[in-house]
Amino acid sequence: GEFKPIEIKTGDEIEELAHVYNEMMMKTNAYVEQQKRFVSDVSHELRTPLAVLDGHINLLNRWGKNDAEILDESLQASQFEISRMKKMLEEMLALARLENVDLSSSELDCDVVKVCKHAVKNFALVRQEFEIELIQKVSEETRAKIYPNHYEQALSILLDNAAKYSPDDRKSVIITIDEDEEYVITKVSDKGIGISKEDIQHLFERFFRADKARNRDIGGTGLGLSIMARLAENYKGKIEVESELGVGSTFILKIPKLD
């Protein structure tokens, strides 16, 4: 940041005003820096799929007309890159929209059991190969202080990840809804590939993907969990993770209860 705080030591309202001004400028500065970093991250992330697309179009141009195999493969790969970019855009929009949630809104009232059941139903429909279990340790009336669609989005990110990072022979996921004094606690547990200790530290950073090379085929964007982190922060909740490499992962989302 370029901002240099004003120094006034008069011990009166003017000094106080300078202080308020400095605080304000510092916040604005941090915000601008954050936006700059976001734009630069995004440009960087879009460069890879664009380069791959470029390569395939070159291939198609040179050989695609005569070689059915190249035609098929390159078209399919291009489609894959395009859907990744689309997903990335949607997720970035979701991230941007999360910036200004009004915490005093009366619409922050989520019937967690209902939304969970809905999410489980959707998941079961799309991922029929999955074994899915919902453990409900709270009453049907339990409500959390969050927009229902944001809670559902959070669930679908976690379920999606459980699906993406579970090998074919261990496709099972358990969702637990629980509570303590303060929070509604939602856990999503899988028996997937797990996450190493080093990677866990970076998990919630934008565009972070453990083992990028291998992960490229799985077709994620590295944005899902940064949306989760933002969401938890916005609603004064928490997101935690417990995981063991090769064994599985549990993501724990805590959202304040509505009383």
Binding site for ligand ADP (CB under 6 A): 161-162, 164-165, 190, 192-195, 203, 208-210, 215, 220-226, 249
Determine which helix (DSSP H) or strand (DSSP E) holds 78, and give its type and residue range.
helix 68-97
Nearby residues of 180 by Cβ (< 8 Å), 6 or more positions away? none
Q: How far is the CB of 92 from ligand ADP (least distance, A)?
A: 12
Which residue lies nearer to ligand ADP by CB, 182 or 244?
244
Which residue lies nearer to ligand ADP by CB, 148 or 224?
224
Q: From CA 254, how far away is CA 241, in angstroms rounded?
A: 11
Determine which helix (DSSP H) or strand (DSSP E) holds 188, and give its type and residue range.
strand 183-190
Which residue lies nearer to ligand ADP by CB, 25 or 120?
120
Residue nearest to ligand ADP (CB): 220
CA 85 and chain centroid, separation:
15
Q: How many C-beta neighbours within 10 Å does residue 35 have?
A: 10
Q: How far is the CB of 223 from ligand ADP (least distance, A)?
A: 6
Q: How far is the CB of 153 from ligand ADP (least distance, A)?
A: 12
Which residue lies nearer to ligand ADP by CB, 74 or 243?
243
Q: How far is the CB of 192 from ligand ADP (least distance, A)?
A: 4
246 Ramachandran zone, left/alpha/beta (phi>0; psi -120 to 50): left
